[in-house]
Amino acid sequence: MQKKAQYTITLTLVSLLASLGVSSTFLLTKDTIKRKELAVRTEALYVVLPGLESAPDEVTPSEVSDQDRVYKGLNKAGQLIGYAACGEAQGYSSKIKVMVGLDPRLEKIIGVNILAQNETPGLGTKMTEVESTTTLWSVIFGKDPKAIDWDSEEEWQLPMFRQPERMRKFGLLKKEKKAQPWFQQQFKQKTCNQLIVAKVKDDERITAITGATISTKAVVNAVQNAIDKIKGIVQPPAWEIK
């Protein structure tokens, strides 16, 4: 009986200490996590609202949760670029969160950016991967073989001999505008009616990631979720129209 009491007390103390440790960690990192999420959302707004000049304006009340806020973006001339909101849906193994930009008429998508996902590596995670266009030829010669004038003697001089710095950097090029993953790029200029998953390449629909159809459908559902939020705030219900 005495041993049982000791075990009970020990387990209770261990549980209390573990709970205290978890709660302390949460409290210490809560603000940092919130700042990081805000930074990710802010960066995403500039991706889905191309041409956005200053911080976007919120068109939802201040008491609305971060996940349900709707934003309005203006360009340098003060013209409306469009609206943006977050959306989410359950994927194959995680919740997928996206930021979506809609044109001022709420007809076409002008940008999609995936904020968070934890899908199967090598399959669902391809939704955030940028396809590399670098080839062995471009690393060595510095240009597309189709662009070379084979009749020109100058073209036969390897760029690495003319530019020693290029050889030292092993093909590092001038930093260009960050490319977007092909999967996210295909949502641009799509209408709501085109948010249909196709298993083969189809420019009029959303081409599924090979081996990750469930993840693809989840992104489409998350995008639709964001669109519904925008239309629910910006476009008044039919019964309100006079």
Question: 81 and 51 in contact (C-beta within 8 Å)?
Answer: yes
Amino acid, res. 137: W
Q: So what's the pLDDT on residue 28?
A: 60
pLDDT, tens digit, 9 for 90 and up, residues 93-105: 999 999 999 999 9
At 194, the pLDDT band (50, 70, 90 cuts) reads very high
At 87, the pLDDT band (50, 70, 90 cuts) reads very high
**pLDDT above 70 covers what percent of the chain?**
69
Q: So what's the pLDDT on residue 117?
A: 92
Q: So what's the pLDDT on residue 69?
A: 93
Long-range contacts of 48-53 (CB under 8 A, 24+ apart): 48/84, 48/99, 48/100, 48/101, 48/110, 48/111, 48/112, 48/113, 49/73, 49/81, 49/82, 49/84, 49/101, 49/110, 49/111, 50/81, 50/101, 50/110, 50/111, 51/75, 51/76, 51/81, 52/81
Q: So what's the pLDDT on residue 168?
A: 42
Q: So what's the pLDDT on residue 53?
A: 85
CA–CA separation, 71 and 208 (whole Å): 29
pLDDT at 119 over 90: yes
Residue bearing tokens 């573990």? 18
pLDDT, tens digit, 9 for 90 and up, residues 133-159: 555 555 555 555 555 444 544 444 444
pTM reported for the whole predicted model = 0.69
CA–CA separation, 109 and 230 (whole Å): 12
Q: So what's the pLDDT on residue 157?
A: 44
* Mean pLDDT over each residue of the chain, to the nearest integer: 79
In a 13 Å sphere around the CA of 211, the CA atoms on its Cβ side amount to 8
Single out the residue of 213, 195, 27, 223 nearest to residue 115, CA to CA.
223
Q: What is the mean pLDDT of residues 217-234?
A: 95
pLDDT, tens digit, 9 for 90 and up, residues 62-85: 888 888 999 999 999 889 999 999
CB neighbours of 229 closer than 8 A, spacing ≥ 6?
68, 70, 85, 86, 87
Q: So what's the pLDDT on residue 132?
A: 60
At 220, the pLDDT band (50, 70, 90 cuts) reads very high
